[in-house]
Amino acid sequence: MRSARVERTTAETEIAVELNLDGEGTCRIDTGLGFLDHMLAQLGKHALIDLDLRARGDLHVDAHHTVEDTGIAVGQAVSQALGGRKGIRRYGHALLPMDETLTQVAIDLSNRPYLVWHVSFTRDKLGDIDTETFREWFQGFAQHAGATLHVRNLDGLNNHHIVESCYKGLAHSLRDAAAIDPRAGGAVPSTKGSL
């Protein structure tokens, strides 16, 4: 099994993540932020990743550190579970509709982190989370998963749907990119021989 355990402790947050890339989508999430729990459960369910995540953060300040640091920790766990990235498909993409919303997500598990984020909101908050903070989650994830990640919201009115379509789009993209390609023979998917 391609699995990982990551613990991240700072002066602002304490996070423990257990992740299995070859799971069934079983999730146990507790961040202290209901909306973030909901988004992480979407990620696990739709990527078929088993995800157990516990976070305690300085929510008396605001949600920023907890949101950003969970992105970092999940990214670290994904990278660790991928190991040498041998035999993976490497690339994945999704065009994710959710009611009136349409979001495009593309990922390259290249070990060259980069985020392109074209998502905007008409509300300042969803639950207890500033909407601008969701970019920080995706940035932390991309940086620490070693992923080039493009997220582009093409249409949408409901801010909840916009964010959720980003997480579901990432889930489907990651599921495809992390999948083992039976034709690859365990080779690293690069002409350079390493990622």
Orientation of helix 64-82 relative to helix 159-178, angle to 10°:
20
Secondary structure (3-state) at 171: helix
Predicted pLDDT of residue 194? 87
Per DSSP bridges, beta strands 27-30 and 50-57 are parallel
Cβ distance 35 to 74 under 8 Å? no
pLDDT tens figures, 130-179: 999 999 999 999 999 999 999 999 999 999 999 999 999 999 999 999 99
The full set of domains in the chain, from first to last, is 3-178 (3.30.230.40)
Token match 């305690």: residue?
56
Mean pLDDT of 44-53: 98
How far is Cα of residue 176 from the mean position of the Cα atoms in its chain? 13
User: What's the rounded Cα separation, in Å, for the pair 83 and 97?
Assistant: 32
pTM, whole model, 2 decimals? 0.97
User: What pLDDT was estimated at residue 193?
Assistant: 86
